[in-house]
Amino acid sequence: MKHPIFAANWKLNHGPADADAFLRQFLAYYPRTQDRTVIFFPPALTLHAVHLALKDRTDIKVGVQNIHSEDYGAFTGENSAAIARGAGAKYALIGHSERRHIFGESDEQAGKKLAAAVRAGLTPVLCVGETLAQREAGDTVTVVIRQLRAGLSTAEPAQVAGFIVAYEPVWAIGTGKTATPSDATTVHLAIREELRTLAGERAEAVPILYGGSVNCGNAESLLAAPEVNGLLVGGASLDADSWSGIVRTWATMASPLERRR
């Protein structure tokens, strides 16, 4: 039975007060459940407030959107995995396309940041995905596998089973265009195959999420694809109604009774 992950990437939105209001509304809609995992990735300055607001809800996790590759030191303005961990984070996004394409982060930096997350005891969520030009050139799988290898290059095979991978085509992020379940399946299968090469049978344990313009209308069809182990959602996770609609997709898919309510 699939145990999907629903990850909300708030990007640069929701300060502590907004987050508090959001969580009050969301928690009222979302009862404690063991059949899926929900993770919030708030901005770094909001992370601790979200951690505190969730103190009674150990079923919901918090992650950091970006970390520096060093743990401490003279790196003004940066956030470290170790400090994020102290503030309540359990997960770290690594190599999100906005980090790669707006801030110029390389594959190599993604590998170093992944190592920093592992040192601090955070679960890395390694994001990979091709641009529109790369897709149109037929290079999707080549690009995704290159990013995957580089991101995991600092990890031991035995560690890989504890990681999460997110396939997020750049052309789908924040654009309203979504990969079809069949497109996502093709890439997820290629990622799984490469994970097997890197980590053997441990690769089966790695959840592979899809992200890119997921919303209440398309979440169900994407989640229905057997290779899609969860969703990483940006824009549609910013509103508590919309986010709870996406998270509750799984209840309605898993239980026909719930679907009729």
In the complex, the smallest distance separating the C-beta of residue 76 from ligand PEP, rounded to whole angstroms, is: 26
Task: Give the nearest distance from C-beta 261 to ligand PEP in angstroms.
Answer: 27
Q: Does 235 bind ligand PEP (CB under 6 A)?
A: yes
Residues 6+ apart with CB under 8 A from 79: 44, 64, 66, 67, 68
DSSP percent split of the chain into helix, strand, coil, nearest 5: 50, 15, 35
Which of 4, 88, 111, 234 forms a contact with ligand PEP (CB under 6 A)?
234
Q: Is 1 buried (19+), middle (13-18) or exposed (0-12) by CB count in 10 A?
A: exposed
What is the sign, positive or negative, of the torsion defined by CA atoms of 19, 23, 25, 26?
positive
Shorter beta-carbon distance to ligand PEP: residue 8 or 152: 8
Least distance in Å: CB of 239 to ligand PEP? 12
Rounded CA-CA distance 89/41 in Å is 9
Could you tell me the two tokens for 134? Answer: 């790369």
Question: What are the residue numbers of the active site?
Answer: 96, 168
Footprint of ligand PEP on residues 172-231 (CB under 6 A)?
Answer: 173-174, 211-214
In the bound complex, what is the minimum distance in angstroms from residue 190's beta carbon to ligand PEP? 19
Residue number with CB closer to ligand PEP (36 or 82): 36
Q: With respect to ligand PEP, which residue has the nearer C-beta, 190 or 232?
A: 232
Segment holding 38, helix H or strand E: strand 37-41
Count, residues near ligand PEP per rule CB under 6 A: 14
Closest residue by beta carbon to ligand PEP: 234
Q: How far is CA 245 from CA 52, 152, 213, 239, 259, in A?
A: 24, 33, 15, 10, 12
Nearer to ligand PEP, 134 or 159 (CB): 134
Residue matched to tokens 């396309």: 97
Interface with ligand PEP (CB under 6 A): 9, 11, 168, 173-174, 211-214, 232-236
